[in-house]
Amino acid sequence: PSTVYLKDYRPPAFLVSEVELDIDLLGEDEARVAARLALQRNPAAPRPPADLELDIDEIAVESVAIDGQPVGDGRWAADARHLTVKDVPAAFELRTVTRIRPRQNTKLMGIYLSGTGFFSLCEAEGFRRITPFLDRPDVMARYTATLHADKARYPVLLANGNCVGQGDEAGGRHWARWRDPFPKPSYLFAVVAADLESCQDRFRTRSGRDAQLQCFVEPGKLDQIAFALESLKHAMKWDEDRYGLEIDLDEYNVVAVGDFNAGAMENKGLNIFNTKLVLARPDISTDWDFSFIDRTVAHEYFHNWTGNRVTCRDWFQLSLKEGLTVFREQQYAADRYSRAVARIQAVRNLRTGQFPEDAGPMAHPVRPASYQQVSNFYTSTVYQKGAEVVRMMHTLVGPENFRKGIDLYFQRHDGQAVTTDELVAAIEQAGGVDLAQFRLWYEQAGTPRLTVRDRYDEASRSYELSVTQQCPPTPGQPAKRPMHMPLALGLLAPDGRELPLRLQGEAAPRGTSTVLSLHAETEVFRFIDVPARPVPSLGRGFSAPVVIDYPYDEAGLQHLLSYDSDSFNRWEAGQRLAMNLLLQGVADRAAGRPVQFPEYLAQAFGRVLADAEADPAFAAEALALPPEVVIAEQLGQIDPLAVHQVRFAMRSFLAERLHDGLRRAYDHFATPGPYSPDAQSSGRRALRNLCLAFLMDLRDADARRLCLQQLEAAGNMTDAMAALSAIANCDCPERRAALDAFHAKWRDEPLVVDKWLGVEAQSRLPGTVERVRELTRHPAFTLKNPNKVYALLGSFGVNQVQFHAADGSGYQLMLEQSLALDVVNPQVASRMVRNFERYRRFEPGRQALMRAALERIATTPGLSKESSEVVGKALA
Binding site for Zn ion (CB under 5 A): 322, 325
265 binds, among Zn ion, ligand DPP, none (CB under 5 to 8 A by kind): ligand DPP
Contact segment (CB under 6 A) with ligand DPP among 258-266, 391-399, 487-495, 511-519 equals: 258-266
Distance CA 221, CA 616 (A): 33
Q: Is 300 a catalytic residue?
A: yes
Distance in Å, CB of 256 to Zn ion, minimum:
17
Site string for ligand DPP, 676-715 (x = CB under 6 A): ----------------------------------------
Segment (H or E) for 159: strand 156-159
Distance CA 619, CA 686 (A): 9
Residue 259 interacting with ligand DPP (CB under 6 A): no
Contact segment (CB under 6 A) with ligand DPP among 46-54, 263-271, 331-339, 368-376 equals: 263-271
CB 334 within 8 A of CB 415: no
Distance in Å, CB of 266 to Zn ion, minimum:
6
262 binds, among ligand DPP, Zn ion, none (CB under 5 to 8 A by kind): ligand DPP
Of positions 52, 109, 264, 489, contacts ligand DPP by CB under 6 A: 264
Contact segment (CB under 6 A) with ligand DPP among 110-118, 198-206, 259-267, 685-693 equals: 259-267
Residue 149 or 264 having the CB closest to ligand DPP: 264
Residue 262 interacting with ligand DPP (CB under 6 A): yes
How crowded is residue 621: how many other Cβ atoms within 10 Å of its Cβ? Answer: 26
Residue 308 or 469 having the CB closest to ligand DPP: 308
* Helix, strand, or coil (residue 457): strand
Residue 265 interacting with ligand DPP (CB under 6 A): yes
Of positions 322, 357, 633, 843, contacts ligand DPP by CB under 6 A: 322
Distance in Å, CB of 393 to Zn ion, minimum:
19
Distance CA 642, CA 647 (A): 8
Q: Measured between alpha carbons, how far is residue 863 from residues 36, 531, 793, 817, 847 in Å?
A: 35, 66, 19, 13, 23
How crowded is residue 7: how many other Cβ atoms within 10 Å of its Cβ? Answer: 7
Distance in Å, CB of 297 to ligand DPP, minimum:
11
Distance CA 664, CA 687 (A): 12
Residue 122 or 617 having the CB closest to ligand DPP: 122
186 binds, among Zn ion, ligand DPP, none (CB under 5 to 8 A by kind): none
Strand order in the sheet with 52-55: 52-55, 82-85, 76-78
How crowded is residue 787: how many other Cβ atoms within 10 Å of its Cβ? Answer: 21
Q: Residue-wise over 32-64: b if at least 16 C-beta within 10 A, else e?
A: ebbbebbbebbeeeeeeeeebebbbbebebeeb
* Helix, strand, or coil (residue 675): coil
Distance in Å, CB of 261 to ligand DPP, minimum:
9
Distance in Å, CB of 326 to ligand DPP, minimum:
8
CB 855 within 8 A of CB 875: yes
Distance in Å, CB of 328 to ligand DPP, minimum:
12
Distance in Å, CB of 797 to ligand DPP, minimum:
21
Catalytic residue among 300, 628, 749, 869: 300
Residue 375 or 867 having the CB closest to ligand DPP: 375
264 binds, among ligand DPP, Zn ion, none (CB under 5 to 8 A by kind): ligand DPP
CB 750 within 8 A of CB 257: no
How crowded is residue 314: how many other Cβ atoms within 10 Å of its Cβ? Answer: 18
Which positions from 465 through 524 interact with ligand DPP, judged by CB under 6 A?
Answer: none
Residue 386 or 541 having the CB closest to Zn ion: 386
Residue 279 or 665 having the CB closest to ligand DPP: 279
Q: Residue-wise over 66-96: b if at least 16 C-beta within 10 A, else e?
A: beeeebeeeebebeeebbbbeebeeebebbb
123 binds, among ligand DPP, Zn ion, none (CB under 5 to 8 A by kind): ligand DPP
- The CA-CA-CA angle for residues 609, 611, 615, to 5°, reads 95
Residue 368 or 539 having the CB closest to ligand DPP: 368
Residue 380 or 689 having the CB closest to Zn ion: 380
Distance CA 854, CA 815 (A): 8
Residue 272 or 548 having the CB closest to Zn ion: 272
Which positions from 65 through 124 interact with ligand DPP, judged by CB under 6 A?
Answer: 123
CB 840 within 8 A of CB 875: no
Segment (H or E) for 558: helix 554-563
Distance CA 559, CA 491 (A): 11
Residue 228 interacting with ligand DPP (CB under 6 A): no
Residue 300 interacting with ligand DPP (CB under 6 A): yes
Distance in Å, CB of 798 to ligand DPP, minimum:
21
Strand partners, 22: 34, 146
Interstrand relation of 417-418 and 311-312 (parallel, antiparallel or unpaired): parallel
Residue 628 interacting with ligand DPP (CB under 6 A): no
How many chain residues are in contact with ligand DPP, going by CB under 6 A?
A: 9
Distance CA 349, CA 329 (A): 14
Contact segment (CB under 6 A) with ligand DPP among 231-239, 260-268, 457-465, 809-817 equals: 260-268
Distance in Å, CB of 385 to ligand DPP, minimum:
14
Which residues lie closer than 8 Å to 811 by C-beta, 6 or more apart?
A: 803, 804, 805, 836, 849, 850, 853
* Helix, strand, or coil (residue 545): coil
Contact segment (CB under 6 A) with ligand DPP among 213-221, 262-270, 412-420, 617-625 equals: 262-270
CB 501 within 8 A of CB 473: no
Contact segment (CB under 6 A) with ligand DPP among 71-79, 139-147, 256-264, 756-764 equals: 256-264
Distance in Å, CB of 187 to ligand DPP, minimum:
8
User: Pseudo-torsion of CA 422, 427, 429, 432, nearest 10°?
Assistant: -150
Distance in Å, CB of 341 to ligand DPP, minimum:
22
Site string for ligand DPP, 528-567 (x = CB under 6 A): ----------------------------------------
Residue 294 interacting with ligand DPP (CB under 6 A): no
Distance CA 185, CA 192 (A): 18
Distance in Å, CB of 326 to Zn ion, minimum:
7
Of positions 266, 454, 498, 749, contacts ligand DPP by CB under 6 A: 266
* Helix, strand, or coil (residue 585): helix
Distance CA 169, CA 155 (A): 13
Residue 300 or 697 having the CB closest to ligand DPP: 300
How crowded is residue 780: how many other Cβ atoms within 10 Å of its Cβ? Answer: 16
Residue 135 or 300 having the CB closest to ligand DPP: 300
475 binds, among Zn ion, ligand DPP, none (CB under 5 to 8 A by kind): none
Residue 325 or 419 having the CB closest to Zn ion: 325
User: Pseudo-torsion of CA 731, 737, 739, 742, nearest 10°?
Assistant: -150
CB 152 within 8 A of CB 145: no
Residue 262 or 798 having the CB closest to ligand DPP: 262
379 binds, among Zn ion, ligand DPP, none (CB under 5 to 8 A by kind): none
Binding site for ligand DPP (CB under 6 A): 123, 262-266, 299-300, 322
Catalytic center residues = 300
